[in-house]
Amino acid sequence: MKKITSIKTRITIWYTTLMFVLIVVVLSLVVGLSYQLSIDSVEKDVILQVTQVTEKLSKRQPGVFEIVESKEEFKNVSIYGTDGKYLVGQYHYDVETIPFRAGLPRKERIGGKDYIVYDTRTPGPRGAPGGFWIRGVESVSSTMLLGRSAIVIMLVFIPLVLLLAAFGGHYITKRAFHPVNNIIKTANEISSQKDISRRIEIAPDSKEDELHQLSVTLNRMLDKIEHLMRQEKQFTSDASHELRTPISVILAQGEYLLDLAEDEKEKELAQTIVEKAKQVSTLVSRLLLLARIDQHRQKFNKEKVDLGVLVDIAIDSMKDFASQKEILLFSTVEEGTIVDADEPLLLSAITNLISNGIKYGNESGHVTLSVSKLGEKTEIVVSDNGIGISKEHLGKIWTRFYRVDDVRNDVYGSNGLGLSMVKSIIELHGGSITVKSEVGKGTEFRILL
Ligand code: ADP
């Protein structure tokens, strides 16, 4: 299964990572830059001190050794003989192992520390051998204070700042996404309870941002859909109602014609009129019933119904139909199974299931009805050993006007409304209906009341 990561978590991870990268890059730049600046200033300082001492020595100014020995401004300079022997300097640097090299200041690593070393040499008197080596040495590490504190900041404050950013950010996005949760909740309620009258909750003090606009727009759209659905249901209800009388008249006139028919041809014609009128009449009454249930207008006369009696009536009414295909009808009813139900409605649901069992049953097959108590509930199972329904169709059979095989069903004047009607009736009783089927083996409908 695909792992669901909420947008809130993704946003939090994204900007926390971004922040971390940003902080590390900025701090690295600051540390690098400050290090470079420190080196530059150390170099300048060392060059200045060494150059001044070199000039004094070149001009043979008296007292240079004393100045180097005592003055603060020359504290980084030492004077050596040309043989490398230390002569004078405020600090005796431990750098004799580094050979003297006149030229540019350079970085040397001594005892794990970085130093800037700058050497110059003064010539001997009038080009004669002799002279001095003047060496300036200054440690770089002492100027690295900023770098160190930056590392401390990195190690201590960054995790703290990141934690704060992650928690704070997650809290803010969670609040900002609250309307989305409301939208999801409402959409789920509408689809699971099929109640289109639900609306997305909008807090009166909510900010008028994009999500607020989305909730308002969706609510407006739901109003429109609800209105259209109501209109459509009203139309179905009105149309079925208007069709009822003319169809009853056609049916009555057809039956009258059938009685008057003098030859086979007339009889056949009248028979067709009666059959088709009956089909349309069934269709219209199913549509009317569904429209009434949808509009919560269906009368529901709850009474104590003995399922033993109800099953007998249902089987009795289907006997003739079953015998046309030599299908046997069986029933087993647990003694004293009484339910609170609207008898005519429940009877029509059960009769419908038996009728389907016969319609889609094989010649000489059987349809079985069993009623049993399941704790507080009652279970009614209608099963057959007929043609069965393939998996591909099984999920769709409850849809209005859905028929698995149009041509085959036409023999019985099917309209694909039977099972949707059964389902609506059972749900009106607060029950549920499920189906199991295997092609070539049979079908089983299970009602729980
Ligand atoms: P219809 O009026 O076409 O029978 P239903 O809503 O009662 O409409 O059934 C829908 C479809 O489900 C039917 O077209 C049929 O193919 C299939 N079906 C229903 N009951 C059975 C059954 N007991 N065995 C096999 N198929 C069935």
Q: Tell me the residue type at 102.
A: A
Q: Tell me the residue type at 411.
A: V
Distance (Å) from CA 47 to ligand 1 centroid: 102
Confidence of residue 3 (pLDDT cuts 50, 70, 90): low
CA distance 31 to 10: 31
Ligand 1, pocket-test mutation among 281, 360, 362, 367, most atoms within 8 A of CB: 360
Ligand 1, pocket-test mutation among 352, 389, 408, most atoms within 8 A of CB: 389
Confidence of residue 303 (pLDDT cuts 50, 70, 90): very high
Do the beta carbons of residue 431 and residue 300 sit within 8 Å? no
The end-to-end CA distance of the chain, in Å, is 35
CA distances from 345 to 22, 132, 150, 423, 429 (A): 71, 121, 81, 11, 10
- Burial of 165: CB neighbours in 10 Å, binned 0-12, 13-18, 19+: middle
The domains of the chain, with CATH numbers, are 7-148 (3.30.450), 210-294 (1.10.287.130), 303-448 (3.30.565.10)
pLDDT at 219: 93
CA distances from 115 to 64, 78, 98, 104, 137 (A): 25, 15, 12, 14, 7
- Other Cβ atoms within 10 Å of 233 Cβ, number: 17
Q: Is 438 helix (H, G, I), strand (E, B) or coil?
A: strand
Do the beta carbons of residue 196 and residue 222 sit within 8 Å? yes
Q: What pTM did the predictor assign? A: 0.60
> Which amino acids bring their CB within 6 angstroms of ligand 1?
356-357, 360, 384, 386-389, 397, 402-405, 409, 414-419, 443
pLDDT digits (tens, 9 = 90+) for 376-422: 899 999 999 999 999 989 988 998 888 887 555 566 667 888 999 99
Do the beta carbons of residue 390 and residue 439 sit within 8 Å? yes
pLDDT digits (tens, 9 = 90+) for 127-159: 556 788 899 988 876 545 555 666 677 778 778
Distance (Å) from CA 404 to ligand 1 centroid: 7
Confidence of residue 372 (pLDDT cuts 50, 70, 90): very high
- 76 Cβ neighbours under 8 A, 6+ residues apart: 45, 46, 49, 91, 136, 137, 138
Distance (Å) from CA 383 to ligand 1 centroid: 13
CA distance 55 to 271: 135
